[in-house]
Amino acid sequence: MSREFDLILFGATGFTGRLVAEYLAKNASKPPGATTSGSETATKWALAGRSVEKLEQIRSGLGPGGASVPIIKADSGDAKSLEAMVARTKVMCTTVGPYAKYGLPLVEACSRAGTHYCDLTGETQFMRDSIDRCETLARDSKARIVHTAGFDSVPSDLGMQFLFEQLGPLKRATLVVEVMRGGFSGGTLASLMVGLDEAKADRSRRRLLGDPYALSPNRDAEPKLGNERDLTSFKFDDFTGQWIAPFVMASVNTRVVRRANALQNYAWGRELRYAEVSGMKRGVRGAFRAATMTAILGGGIGALMFGPTRKLAERFLPKPGEGPNEESRRTGRVRMRIYGESEKGERGSVVVAGEGDPGYQLTSVILGECALCLAHDEAKLPQRFGVLTPSTAMGPVLRERLVRAGMTFARG
């Protein structure tokens, strides 16, 4: 694919978009771990958005790696500007959300043009719409459309692929969040509230959110495994040996993992039962922590569903474009362990970990590496096209990039 740019970052004026721009400015010309032989070709990339003035302000703070980056004016509400933009690049990397409001026109433009695409969405309804409207288009044009290319859902998706490599086909796996220090971005909260509003207004959208196979390529072909609803209470879990509580992003990540498995003809296990939870260890203290987290999470979601309390909460929650200071982003961290049992009865686990606030610092690294992977590693990637997941689009090639960038994928 010969294009003017290797990648374009759309939405750099938002909080997370700016962090991705900063990451690309430091790493696009020489990916982490690359040699210094001079054989690497510098990434040709650009910034895009509605306001040239704001983009110029962002560019001025990027340092030498971003000082000469071109700027492209484009608007998610202007189809012609999107079509013109995507025709110029191999990869579109977008942080413009909520994606349910602004995302589909860009996905459609990329799918028609054969331009690879990656985003940060955690919006199940948007991803379902993207699949229904763009799967055939993207396959025909040989575009890779990769949603959830940040903290949600790369650790889950690539972690499961890594666990499969260790144990073979699985009959069950549970991802346990052991450590997570960080906060929600204003953009993430805006996306959450758009999803809740859709669920309240439309029963079919509400049913979609509750469907464990909401992102399935063929819903009728999925296994009948009984209750696979995400955990909503706390309990002691014999499989992982600890008290567990709900994990706020399980309802997105589990759907992504199930789609990845189905896209690979159920290579990870034809009757794989997969769950994601927060781990609280053993004993009375673990039980108390699990009960407390369950109450806080349930109360928070309830507050956002009820008009008066939502208005109150919105006064104190971060707005789109807002986020924590550099010190808070730097000191965040996450560690997840995925427990698995193979179809042969063998048990094992893998650990996925990263430094930096998961929702900001770590996410900017992950999305930046996803974009660079799609732009530069074409010859190494699976020959699979359409609306994909990170593992089915890039797999171990992306994992190697992330390890070089500082993340951990290790046997437990």
Tell me: pLDDT of 178 over 70.
Answer: yes
Nearest alpha-carbon partner for 102 in 89, 120, 87? 120
Look up residue 389 and give its two tokens: 């997941």
Span 127-149, pLDDT tens digits: 999 999 999 999 999 999 999 99
Helix/strand/coil (H/E/C) assignment for every residue in 391-412: HHHCHHHHHHHHHHCCCEEEEC
Q: What percent of the chain has pLDDT over 90?
A: 74
DSSP reduced 3-state for 264: coil
Instruction: Give 344's DSSP letter.
Output: T
Shared domain for 339 and 251, answered yes or no, is: yes
Q: Count how many domains the chain has.
A: 2
Look up residue 17 and give its two tokens: 């978009």
Nearest alpha-carbon partner for 166 in 390, 411, 343? 411
Helix axes 307-316, 283-305, angle to 10 degrees: 110
Shared domain for 178 and 290, answered yes or no, is: yes
Q: Where are the alpha helices (DSSP H) in 202-249?
A: 203-210
DSSP reduced 3-state for 192: helix
Quote the pLDDT of residue 360: 85
Shared domain for 376 and 387, answered yes or no, is: yes
* Residue 83: strand pairing partners: none
Shared domain for 100 and 221, answered yes or no, is: no
Quote the pLDDT of residue 187: 63
CATH number, residue 371: 3.40.50.720
Distance CA 268, CA 249 (A): 21
Least confident interval from 21-30, 198-207, 252-261, 370-379 = 198-207
Shared domain for 147 and 234, answered yes or no, is: no
Distance CA 124, CA 374 (A): 23
Span 359-376, pLDDT tens digits: 889 999 999 999 999 999
Shared domain for 371 and 350, answered yes or no, is: no
The band of 166, judged by pLDDT with boundaries at 50, 70 and 90, is very high
Cβ pair 391, 260 in contact under 8 A: yes
Span 104-122, pLDDT tens digits: 999 999 999 999 999 999 9
Q: What percent of the chain has pLDDT over 70?
A: 88
Final residue of a structural domain among 321, 340, 358: 358
Shared domain for 227 and 369, answered yes or no, is: no
What is the span of the domain harbouring residue 352? 154-358
Shared domain for 219 and 99, answered yes or no, is: no
Q: Which residues of 319-351 are buried (b: 16+ CB within 10 A; e: fewer)?
A: ebeebbeeeebeebbbbbbbbbbbeeeeeebbb
Span 19-62, pLDDT tens digits: 999 999 999 876 444 443 333 468 999 999 999 999 999 999 99
Average pLDDT, the chain: 90
Cβ pair 73, 50 in contact under 8 A: yes
Distance CA 354, CA 360 (A): 12
Final residue of a structural domain among 318, 336, 358: 358
Q: Is the peptide bond before 98 cis (omega within 30 degrees of 0)?
A: yes
Look up residue 32 and give its two tokens: 């982490």
Task: Give how far the C-alpha of residue 163 lies from the chain's centroid of Cα atoms, to the nearest Å.
Answer: 19
Span 368-401, pLDDT tens digits: 999 999 999 999 999 999 999 999 999 999 999 9
Final residue of a structural domain among 358, 380, 403: 358
Quote the pLDDT of residue 284: 92
Shared domain for 131 and 166, answered yes or no, is: no
Instruction: Give 153's DSSP letter.
Output: B
Q: Where are the alpha helices (DSSP H) in 28-123?
A: 52-60, 79-86, 99-102, 104-113
Distance CA 282, CA 97 (A): 39
Quote the pLDDT of residue 35: 40
Using CA atoms, how far residue 19 sits from 123, 174, 329, in Å, is 21, 31, 11
Quote the pLDDT of residue 33: 46
Q: Is 162 exposed, middle or buried (0-12, 13-18, 19+ CB in 10 A)?
A: buried
Spatial strand order of the sheet with 242-246 comes to 235-237, 242-246, 273-279, 170-181, 333-342, 347-355, 408-411
Distance CA 24, CA 367 (A): 10
* Residue 243: strand pairing partners: 236
Please tell me which residue, 63 or 268, carries the higher pLDDT value. 268
Shared domain for 343 and 403, answered yes or no, is: no
Distance CA 139, CA 326 (A): 40
How many other C-beta atoms are found inside a 10 Å radius of the C-beta of residue 367? 28
The band of 186, judged by pLDDT with boundaries at 50, 70 and 90, is low
What percentage of the chain's residues is helix, strand, coil (to nearest 5)?
45, 20, 35
Cβ pair 110, 145 in contact under 8 A: yes
Q: Return the ∠ at Cα 153 (arms to 260 and 306), rounded to 5°.
A: 115
Tell me: pLDDT of 408 over 70.
Answer: yes
Shared domain for 106 and 169, answered yes or no, is: no
Quote the pLDDT of residue 329: 81
Tell me: pLDDT of 321 over 70.
Answer: no
Shared domain for 250 and 374, answered yes or no, is: no
Using CA atoms, how far residue 368 sits from 12, 169, 182, 365, 401, in Å, is 12, 31, 19, 5, 10
